[in-house]
Each structure stands twice: as C-alpha cells, then as structure tokens.
A = this chain, B = another copy of it.
Amino acid sequence: MKNVKCLKCIKCGAEYEATPDATTCECGGILDVIYDYDYIKSVSSPEAISSSKDYTMWRYRPFLPVEESTKNPPLRVGWSPLYEVPRVADKLGFKQFFLKDDGINPTASLKDRASSMAVAKAIEAGYDTIACSSTGNAASSLAGNSAAAGIKTYIFVPERAPIGKVAQLLIFGATVVSVKGNYEETFELSKAAIDEYGWYNRNAAINPYLMEGKKTVALEIAEQLNWKLTDYVALSVGDGCTIAGVWKGFKDLYEAGFIDKLPKLISAQSVNTCPINRAVKTGEPWSPMEENTLADSISVGVPRNADKAIKAIIESDGLAIEVTDDEILAAMRETGRECGVFGEPAGVTGYAGLKKLCAEGKIPADATVTCIVTGNGLKDTANGIKAAGEPIKLNPSLDEFKETVMK
C-alpha cells in the first residue's frame, strides 16, 4: 500500500504498521489510517477519478487502504445516486438540496461499503471466514458481501433479534448463532469464538479499515457535485462510525487538494438517544444513554466511535440536532413523496434533523445542503406502514370507487 503511511492511535498517538488484520491500539484506542497525500496526488487527480469506468466505491482506490494487487470484491457496492430536488429546497427555504440514496446498495444500506472493505481486507490477510456480532445492517451486509466472495460468515445475534433480520442473514448462508442471552453475552461469545478460531473480525470500532469503506460515500458526494461541496451534509448518527467516516472522506480530499472547501456536518440523533449530540452541545465527555427510538439502526446508547464522531462534528463547525420518532416518521413520508426515495427510519433521520433546523431558522437562505439516506425502507416495513397509513379498501366497483375515493 504505497498510499498508506501507517495506522495511528487517536488516543495516544502510537503508530503501527498497516497490517490487514490490525485491530485497536495497545492502549485500547481506535486506530486511524494515515495516508501519504503527496503520493496520492502523484498518482491521481479529480480528473483521473472522474474518467474511471469503475462505477463502484473502488473507483477511489488511491484513497483506500488496500494493496494494489487486491481485487475488488464481487458485489457492486457504491456509486449510489445523488438527486437534486429543487422542490425540497424551496419548501425548506434554502438554495439547493441534494439527496444521496445509499439504500440502493446491494444489501440496501450504506454498511455495504464497510463490508466490501472487510471482504477485501480479509482476503488480503488470507482469511476464509469473517465473524461479527450484530443483528442489523452491518450483519446483513457482511453476510451478503461475503457470500458473493465465497467467504464463510459466523454471525452472533441475541435471541431477541427480529426474525426478519435473521432471515436475511440465513438467506445469505451465514451461520447464524442465536444466543440465549442479552447483547453483552452475545458479544462476549462472539469475541471468544473469534479468538478461539482466528476468524477475521468485522467490528467497525475495532477494525480500522471499515471506516475507510464508509468514507467512500463522502468521496462520491464530492465527485457527483463536481468537487464543489455543499455548505452542509446532513446524516443520522448512531455509534458514530458513519459520520466519522464521512468526515474522514472529506478531509482526505481536502488534504490531497481535490476539494478546496469542507462542508459543515449536521449530526441528527433521536431526542431520546443522543449521547454524541449531547456531548457536542455540552462540551462534556459523552456518557451512555437509554436506547429508545424506533430508528433501530441509530438506537445506540453506548456509541463505539463517539470520540471520532464528536471530533468530526466540532471540527467541521457542524450542527447537532435531535428529532422525535414522529418527526422521523414524517421524514419517511416526505422523502418518499418529494424525492421518490423510501428510507428506513434511521435512513431519513438526517432529513428530519435538517427540516427541524430549517424550522428553527438555523439554515441560511443561501445555503446548499446534501442529505444522506443511509438505508432502504424495505428493511423496516412495519414502520413504513406506521409512517404512511393504510390503503383504501374497496370492492371491485367503479361506483364504490367514485363515492369513496373521488368524492
């Protein structure tokens, strides 16, 4: 990896060689991938990237921590659409609005970007099995991306995991272990099994490479905006890995001279579960909160990557905003109706936050904004129905139709 200098601990500053199965620092701190931007500039440019015909996240290889010889994993991840929707800009009262639909990825969430990276690094490191402990998008994306690459997966879920999510894992052929215990016990069993059998570890706050996969959403936004970022980029925040990855992406482009302006981040969390935003607003260190929002993907009371996320929001001169579940459901309807994009609850929380900031007068009229939808609403149809209401039930009769629907 000529483009990577080393891994560096964000806590103590210790540096490590960037081996493909590196995890955390000896001090327990999370490692960051440090790039050689001079080297990147010498081998790449905005023009070179824009002329690539590889319409996946792997078009950004100069900015990705993989060996030159590593093949792109099989599933086509990334290059999700960025839609400009003038209607929304008019409605919310600012200049320009873009929506990035990342629910269009192969397993229908942004997490595919991290899992594609996990598959690439696991193969580099010579592993044939990857494991993780999760019931959400990270697990299903790992199972799908691994299946396509012929890699085995062990997924540990607590017994309370919803059957729908477990089904997706089983369809992709993961060995799914339903643990009769709580999440903590599930995590501990997965850790013991990973240690015992030496599998590749896909845990976003432990594995330093996964965030580098996630950052490709930011690289895409920049390229799709012709390397001129909007003033703001809004997204939902759970354990903090995604927003930290997004910021890393923008910073990488800035350091390499591909963009000359950084956006301000808008961090949207639930009013009930917002440990990261609370820390940003109070200036205190983050502390755990209860997990209480229907947006399950961001219902994270103990965020694993809080420090990186908080640093990113503050460094960007960003905004932190909290929304209610009702505001999240309204955002599902509004992005569906105005943009033709059906996002899962956590997927549209960034939009909900943006809307609330507009109502509070915090977004200037001349502002330009990008909002990321992080996951597809088909992953959570129960909340889709909750947001959308019920269809009109009729007998097959035109008269009944006229009287009921067209009245």
B-contacting residues of A (Cβ < 8 Å)? Answer: 55, 74-76, 79, 81, 83, 85, 87, 101, 104, 106-108, 144-150, 154, 157, 159, 163-164, 166-173, 175-181, 185-186, 188-189, 192-193, 196-197, 332-333, 336-342, 376-379, 381, 384-385, 387-398, 401-402, 405-406
B150 touching A87 by the CB < 8 A rule? yes
Cβ contacts under 8 Å, A145 to chain B: 340
Q: Which of B157, B189, B401 contacts A193 (CB 8 A)?
A: B401
Closest to A145 in B: B340
A391 touching B177 by the CB < 8 A rule? yes
Q: A189-B398, A340-B144 are in contact. Are A178 and B393 (CB under 8 A)?
A: yes
The minimal Cβ–Cβ distance linking A237 to chain B, given in whole angstroms, is: 23
Closest to A173 in B: B337
B398 touching A192 by the CB < 8 A rule? yes
Cβ contacts under 8 Å, A393 to chain B: 159, 178, 180
The minimal Cβ–Cβ distance linking A303 to chain B, given in whole angstroms, is: 19
B178 touching A391 by the CB < 8 A rule? yes
The 6 nearest A-B residue pairs measured at CB? A148-B340, A170-B388, A173-B337, A167-B384, A171-B336, A176-B391
* 15 A-B residue pairs with CB within 8 Å: A76-B83, A76-B104, A107-B340, A148-B339, A164-B384, A164-B385, A167-B377, A168-B378, A170-B384, A171-B336, A176-B391, A176-B392, A180-B394, A376-B378, A381-B381
Q: A81-B106, A163-B385, A172-B340 are in contact. List 5 more A-B contacts (CB 8 A).
A: A55-B79, A83-B148, A144-B336, A170-B333, A171-B387
A172 touching B394 by the CB < 8 A rule? no
The minimal Cβ–Cβ distance linking A172 to chain B, given in whole angstroms, is: 5
The minimal Cβ–Cβ distance linking A152 to chain B, given in whole angstroms, is: 11
Q: A81-B76, A177-B405, A178-B393 are in contact. Are A342 and B172 (CB under 8 A)?
A: yes
